Amino acid sequence: MASLDHVPTHAQRRRRISIAVAVLAVGWLLTLGLLYVAGYRPLVVHSASMAPTVGTGDLIITQAVRPAAVAVGDVVSFHDRTRAGRLVTHRIAEIHRTGRRIVFVTRGDVNEGTERWSSAADARIGRLAVRIPFAGYAATWLTRLPITLGLLALISVLVANAVLAARATRSANRAVARSLLAAMASAATVISAPIALGATDGAFSAVAANAGNSFQAANSFCHAAPVTVTPNADTYVDESDKTSNFGTQAAMQVSSVPGQTMRALVKFALPTPPADPNCSLTSVLLRLEPLVAFGGPTLQAERITSAWAETTATWNTQPTTSNVNIATTPASTTTVSFDVTAQVLAGANNGFLVRYSASGFGVQAYPTREYPQDRPTLVLTYG
Amino acid sequence: MSRRFALTVAAIGLVCVLAGAQTWAAYRDTTASAANSFATGTVVLADNDSGTAMLSLSNALPGATDAACITVSYTGSLASAVRLYGTTTGSGLDAYLDLKITRGSFSGAPPAFDSCATFNADATDYAGSGSGVIYNGTLAAFPDDYAAGRVDPLPAGPETWTTGETHVYKLEVTLQNNPAAEGKAATQTFTWEARNT
């Protein structure tokens, strides 16, 4: 049995407790500081995008290493700029060196999508070093603001009590100093934990992809130039002069005044298609140049489906037309252009009949092939 | 004197605790607010292609075109942002292929995969290229990863997808009239990727 001389007094016990608290707190801070300097960081894992390797609520410790030190398969933490710069912890799938930067492709083990990011070759990135399952839950709870404030309040009360108890001793100032030292170290410890503790965020991804879309261009395209031809026959027919032919006139007229309707007839010798088997007709334009400025009413070009002759066509013998693929265009002071591609592909060897789409419009004249300039043209484009 | 000193120490401690609370809360909010939440949920995105490619051009001449529609659906529990991008392989035909992607929906019962019958474009002119158009350019210029991906529908107003959300995309590709494209080929994967926000 120990003698009473060896039983510590209350003051001695307080002194030993103060010293022990101070030593533990300083030890914690020193350890934390050394780990920090060595590049280690504690992180709470917030999602299961790396399950089962790392799970929600785990506490992981990463070590800062050179990018060249990591390998495919390592788990690293990085700031993902596609997720507003949040810290993400995923596995490296690919590594590429581009100049002085190293490009990483990473992916969460449960994810379908990947992240592509880069790091300077002389920078540091965090590589998973230690995983403590579920410790992140406890660490998060302990570093909550109310808990931190409560611990700091408790330290304040204990310091006050210690100072009061030291009042009766002869070495009051030394006791107070020891208590304050222990208190400061404890407070620093309490505050350091949440500051040191980081988090790696939830980073899930999923992908829907349509693969195998294949595109192959022909080995040779059509190189034939567009071809422009002028009419081999053109005239007009006049309702007010139903038996007359105007095939030698230098202009063909269009009118839709009731009883005085006029319609233009124009025909072309279609050119021989290019010999290049890669060529096909892609566009045909019928163009008329008005003699006098005249805008407003819509004109239409109809495919002629029966034979006619420039020197014999009259109102009474005018050819028949098809009402399929009628090309329309507003009359214009400049070139009137009809897209007659479909009509030519359907067979337009008998040419086109041009008239107003609506009734009530007066005479408009267009040069014929007998006119020295601005004759009708047919422009054929191949592709 | 010692009692007064002790009370002063306690008071200073408590004041420091209370004064630090506001600063501490602000710190947590700005740097580690996410640390207060553990994410549980899923991000799930699917399409209706059953593994079948939607576009194809073979021995194509200038002006050759193909169009197809695909339905993309989100069934994850976490709200997500979706981006569209693709990867290309081949001998360089992508530089001579014009690609137009329009987002919309089907009116009535959806047709079989890749048919665009009853497709209606979204009314919004997202990119200044017409109603519902979210991309209009060459296949070569189409983004090739998520970071550069086409935000759905626009970078200025990215849409957050929630469970049950479905959109139809019409893809049209046209071969340019450029002799430099002769004999070239390209193979393309179109990828929609969802990431939780």
What pLDDT digit, counting tens, does each position of A109-142 carry? 999 999 999 999 889 999 999 999 999 888 888 8
pLDDT beyond 70 at B59: yes
Decide: helix, strand or coil at residue A50: coil
Tens-place pLDDT, residues A187-233: 777 777 777 788 887 689 999 999 999 999 999 898 889 999 999 99
Q: Specify whether B16 is located in the same domain as B94.
A: no
Largest CA distance in chain A: 151
* Nearest partner of A267 among A304, A242, A299, judged by Cα: A304
**CB-based contact B85:B145 (threshold 8 Å):** yes
Other CB atoms within a 10 A radius of the CB of residue A254 amount to 24
Assess whether the previous peptide bond of A330 is cis (omega < 30° from 0): no
Q: Specify whether B99 is located in the same domain as B161.
A: yes
> Which of B9, B75, B78, B93 is most worth mutating to test chain A (most A CB atoms within 10 A of its CB)?
B9
Spatial neighbors of B152 by CB under 8 A, at least 6 apart, are B81, B82, B83, B84, B103, B134, B158, B159, B161, B167, B192
Q: Which of A116, A155, A278 sits opposite B147 (nearest CB)?
A: A116
Q: Specify whether B22 is located in the same domain as B76.
A: no
Chain A residues whose CB is inside 8 A of the B72 CB are 208
Q: Specify whether B121 is located in the same domain as B26.
A: no
Residue A245 or residue A180, greater confidence = A245
Q: Round to whole Å and give the CA distance between A335 and A287.
A: 6
Q: Which of A57, A194, A219 sits opposite B182 (nearest CB)?
A: A219
For chain A, say whether B45 makes contact (Cβ under 8 Å). Answer: yes
Q: Specify whether B154 is located in the same domain as B69.
A: yes
Cβ–Cβ gap B6/A163 under 8 Å: yes
Q: Give the pLDDT band of residue A380 (cuts 50, 70, 90).
A: very high
Q: Round to whole Å and give the CA distance between A63 and B175.
A: 52
Chain A residues whose CB is inside 8 A of the B34 CB are 46, 86, 199, 201-202
Tens-place pLDDT, residues B153-167: 877 778 899 999 999
Q: Specify whether B97 is located in the same domain as B55.
A: yes
What is the residue-averaged pLDDT of chain A? 87
Cβ–Cβ gap A207/B49 under 8 Å: no
Tell me how many domains chain B contains: 2
Q: Specify whether B175 is located in the same domain as B83.
A: yes
> Which of A210, A222, A280, A381 is most worth mutating to test chain B (most B CB atoms within 10 A of its CB)?
A210
Q: What are the C-alpha distances in Å from A340 to residues A265, A331, A343, A381?
A: 15, 16, 5, 12
For chain A, say whether B194 makes contact (Cβ under 8 Å). Answer: yes
Q: Which of A144, A198, A213 sits opposite B56 (nearest CB)?
A: A213
What is the 8-class DSSP label of residue A225? Answer: P
* Nearest partner of B32 among A159, A32, A194, judged by Cα: A194
> Which of B36, B38, B58, B162 is most worth mutating to test chain A (most A CB atoms within 10 A of its CB)?
B38
pLDDT at residue A373, rounded to an integer: 92
Q: Give the pLDDT band of residue B34 (cuts 50, 70, 90).
A: very low
Q: Round to whole Å and give the CA distance between B91 and B103.
A: 29
CA distance A103 to chain B (A): 13
CA distance B154 to chain A (A): 15
Token reading at A207? 């992908």
pLDDT at residue A179, rounded to an integer: 73
Instruction: Kindly calculate the radius of gyration of chain B based on its CA atoms and give it in whole angstroms.
Output: 26
Q: Where are the domains of chain A?
A: 9-200, 227-382
Residue A5 or residue B192, greater confidence = B192
What residue numbers bound the domain in which B6 lies?
A: 2-36
Q: H or E stretch including B62?
A: none
End-to-end CA distance of chain B: 59
**If you average pLDDT over each of A10-24, A161-175, A344-358, which comes out highest?**
A344-358
Q: Which of B24, B182, B189 sits opposite A209 (nearest CB)?
A: B189
Phi-psi region of A347 (alpha: psi -120 to 50; beta: other; left: phi over 0): left
Crossing angle of helices A145-165 and B2-31, rounded to 10°: 170
For chain A, say whether B22 makes contact (Cβ under 8 Å). Answer: no
Average the pLDDT over A179-194 and give the result.
76
pLDDT at residue B12, rounded to an integer: 55
The DSSP bridge partners found for residue B136 are B100
Q: Round to whole Å and give the CA distance between A134 and A56.
A: 7
Cβ–Cβ gap A202/B145 under 8 Å: no
Q: Specify whether B11 is located in the same domain as B107.
A: no
End-to-end CA distance of chain A: 113
Residue B114 or residue A184, greater confidence = B114
Crossing angle of helices A145-165 and A172-196, rounded to 10°: 170
pLDDT beyond 90 at A259: yes
pLDDT beyond 70 at A4: no
Q: Give the pLDDT band of residue B30 (cuts 50, 70, 90).
A: very low
pTM given for the model: 0.69
Q: Specify whether B83 is located in the same domain as B108.
A: yes
Q: What are the C-alpha distances in Å from A109 to residues A90, A134, A351?
A: 7, 19, 70
pLDDT beyond 70 at A21: yes
| N residues, chain A | 383
**CB-based contact B116:B69 (threshold 8 Å):** yes
Q: Specify whether B128 is located in the same domain as B52.
A: yes
Q: Round to whole Å and give the CA distance between A288 and A333.
A: 11
Decide: helix, strand or coil at residue A264: strand
Q: What CATH class does A9-200 carry?
A: mainly beta
Tens-place pLDDT, residues A50-107: 999 999 999 999 999 999 999 999 999 999 888 888 899 999 999 998 888 999 999 9
In A66-204, at which residue ranges do the beta strands (DSSP E only) sit?
A: 75-80, 86-98, 101-107, 115-120, 125-132, 198-200
The phi and psi torsions of A364 (rounded to 5 degrees) equal: -130, 135
| N residues, chain B | 197
Cβ–Cβ gap A113/B13 under 8 Å: no
Q: Specify whether B96 is located in the same domain as B177.
A: yes
The phi and psi torsions of B113 (rounded to 5 degrees) equal: -55, 135
Q: Specify whether B108 is located in the same domain as B149.
A: yes
